[in-house]
Amino acid sequence: MKIKLPSNMRAAPAAGVPDPSEPATMPLGSPPSAESVEPVVPPPVAAPGEEPGEGASPAARQALWAGEQAPVGSVIGQVLPMYFVGDESHSMAGEPIAAVNQGLIDLRDEVAKHPLIGKKVRFGIITFAETAQTRLELSELSEQLVLPALSPRGRGTSYASALEALRQTIPADVALLKGNGYQVHRPSVFFLSDGLPTEKAEKWRARLAELKDPSFRERPNILAFGVGEADPEVIAQLASSPRYGFMMTQGASTAGAIAEFASSMLNSMVASAERLDRGDHTIEFEKPEGFVQLDAPLV
Amino acid sequence: MTAAGRSAPVRRRRLARGPVTIGEPAAAIEARLAAAEPYRPDTIADGGTAFGLTIRAASVRGLYKRYTGGPRQDDICLRSHAGSDTLVAAVADGVSAAVRSDLGAALAVRYATAAVVRQLDDGRGSIDWGPVFEQAAWALVEEHRRASGDAGAGVEEASGSLATTLLVAAVRDSDVELAAIGDSPAFVLRGKDYDAVVGEAEHHDGLIGGGVDALPGCAGAAQVARCSLEPGAVLLLCTDGLAMPLAGGGGEVGATLARELARPPDIVDFARLLDFSRSTYDDDRSLIAVWGAAR
């Protein structure tokens, strides 16, 4: 069956760069002079690490997307925001903080070289000691992304400041993503601490309640991980579901447990981004080696 | 992630037509053959005319499963009932957390359409959807019992292995009856406007997520609707792999589909259209389009 081309789908000139005024799609039928006309084939987009295909010079690829500005209010993609919230208090000095930094580098590199996940995940880093600091604004994990090097600072361990930072950052990030045309999935937070909060329990609990409040539309899934001297009861309270609280097994090496945590965070990112379309409200996660899940009722 | 280095196949010029790209394309990757038992082809395409209606249907494997070698978990089914001049169509989207949801989707569309056909055989004026979903759900439980060897297994166990959404429609002349469990939506396309009929996911807090109803667990929770398919209108039954990028139809995807579906494309071109490349959208996609009878 021959398809009659709609009037707005004339054959484009030989160059592989479509006229920006043309529709974004390829014509679906061959024009009558198909044998003599160069087919209008957008160059394949090379997977990360691949050389771009023939004819796909960076300039041509750039031009291919030029003039394809999405209409105002239009959806251009879907993203999953994920935050790492890490303890930078003095007790993390030495191997533990080095394990965190290496874990973040590995995570960036693995996600960046994945052909599909990198575009769907946005990653941010918030650290806390006496105060909280946003060390990485929510970003696409590309090979060029410069990661902050975490280092111990301050004397205190303020969970309240970290939770408050999340409460402020997440709605702003979601609004920005939506404003840029993204469908946004419920954010996830990976919270890692090696010690007890050095503030009054009422203070951090109040901030936690605000973050978990059902009327807070952008409330995140919170996965909480305790290493070193962290209190399993506190870690269990931080988690947004009893299944999301994890404590390092007693006697294990803190640095080793952090490395396992980072590897699990990567796996969770990949598995969760894979199932983005499914509509599940849970986050994909498997318990890291060297941790126990705190979903048993705590007496 | 060993497959990261695989490159896209080189298209021969005489066959080259390029991917249908809408906006920023997704990465081009060579698909890994699906490992599934029973056999699950990457793409299925179907269509034809019946009772004055024109039908196009396709189900394509998502880019992510092409990358990992997973089977397509969407499925479609078409049946025509000559005695009542009725087209019966179904789409299903297997829940990926269920390990054999590809089979769940395949069973659900076949058993549900067969159940509708049996009602038409009995001369029913309108479809009684309750038994349709119950029979589809029962097929899933039976399959779980057969495969697991656990004759006492019930809905809960079957949900763990075969869970799927299900959308079924019966089209007679311009009268359309539909019912859905889960987030596989139906629209009527009129010009450039997509009117949602049933099954569209609601996101109360503006974020994506919130779980999905699925068979066999939610067999009693069907949304039922009725609509009219006047000449020039196109009934669209799809899975969320298309509904997500379509996003209500107001953007580039909606404009492209509206333009290309203004009249029925060739069957294979219909499948190619559905297989459009768009960054971050890599789920399975299924679409059944029905053009109404001309008056």
Helix or strand holding residue A165 (H, E): helix A159-179
- Please, what is the average pLDDT of chain B? 91
Helix or strand holding residue A144 (H, E): none
SS3 B206: coil
B29, amino acid identity: I
- Classify residue B27: in a domain, yes or no: no
Q: Quick one: tokens of B62?
A: 């998502």
- Classify residue B263: in a domain, yes or no: yes
> Residue A243: its pLDDT value, please?
86
Whether residue B234 has pLDDT greater than 80: yes
State which residues form the domain around B224: 40-291
> Residue A30: its pLDDT value, please?
37
Nearest CA of chain B to the CA of A24: how many Å? 5
Q: Quick one: tokens of B60?
A: 């394509």
| pLDDT tens digits along B10-47 | 555 655 566 789 999 999 889 999 988 899 999 999 99
Query: DSSP label at A275?
Result: T
Number of domains in chain B: 1
Q: Quick one: tokens of A141?
A: 């994990």
> Residue A44: its pLDDT value, please?
43
Which of B27, B212, B276 minimises the CB distance to A45? Answer: B27
> Residue A294: its pLDDT value, please?
84
**Mean pLDDT, rounded, for B233-243:** 96
Interchain contact, A28 vs B272, CB within 8 Å: yes
- Classify residue B222: in a domain, yes or no: yes
Q: B5 falls in which pLDDT band (50, 70, 90)?
A: very low
- Classify residue B130: in a domain, yes or no: yes
**Mean pLDDT, rounded, for B140-165:** 95
Q: Which CATH superfamily is domain A77-293 in?
A: von Willebrand factor, type A domain (3.40.50.410)
Q: Quick one: tokens of A212?
A: 């978990």
* CB interface of B with A, residues 58-77, below 8 Å: 62-64, 67-68
Q: Measured between beta carbons, which residues in chain B are less than 8 angstroms from residue A184?
A: 206-208
- Please report where in the chains the tokens 């394509």 appear, as a residue: B60
Q: B221 falls in which pLDDT band (50, 70, 90)?
A: confident
Q: Is B15 on the interface with A (CB under 8 A)?
A: no
> Residue B206: its pLDDT value, please?
74
Q: At what angle do helices A201-212 and A159-179 cross, to 10 degrees?
A: 20
> Residue A286: its pLDDT value, please?
78
> Residue B295: its pLDDT value, please?
60
**Mean pLDDT, rounded, for B117-143:** 95
Whether residue B170 has pLDDT greater than 80: yes
d(CA A23, CA B22): 9
Interchain contact, A25 vs B240, CB within 8 Å: no
Q: Measured between beta carbons, which residues in chain B are less than 8 angstroms from residue A82?
A: none
Choose, out of A54, A75, A121, the residue to mutate when testing the contact with B (most B CBs < 10 Å): A75
Domain ranges of chain A: 77-293
**CATH number for the domain harbouring residue B153:** 3.60.40.10
Nearest CA of chain A to the CA of B161: how many Å? 16
d(CA B221, CA A278): 19
**Mean pLDDT, rounded, for B48-57:** 96
Q: Which residue has the higher pLDDT, B161 or A54?
A: B161
B21 touches B44 (CB < 8 A): no
ipTM: 0.86
Nearest CA of chain A to the CA of B51: how many Å? 21
Residues ≥6 apart with Cβ < 8 Å to A185: A78, A79, A80, A81, A276, B207, B208, B209
- Please report where in the chains the tokens 């208090």 appear, as a residue: A89
Interchain contact, A116 vs B96, CB within 8 Å: no
**Mean pLDDT, rounded, for B166-187:** 96
Which of A40, A119, A279 minimises the CB distance to B18? Answer: A40
Q: B213 falls in which pLDDT band (50, 70, 90)?
A: confident
Q: Is B238 on the interface with A (CB under 8 A)?
A: no
Which segments in chain A show pLDDT lower than 50? 1-70, 281, 298-299
A254 touches A194 (CB < 8 A): yes
Nearest CA of chain B to the CA of A171: how many Å? 11
- Classify residue B11: in a domain, yes or no: no
Interchain contact, B17 vs A218, CB within 8 Å: no
- Classify residue B80: in a domain, yes or no: yes
- Classify residue B35: in a domain, yes or no: no
Which of A3, A120, A218 minimises the CB distance to B207? Answer: A218
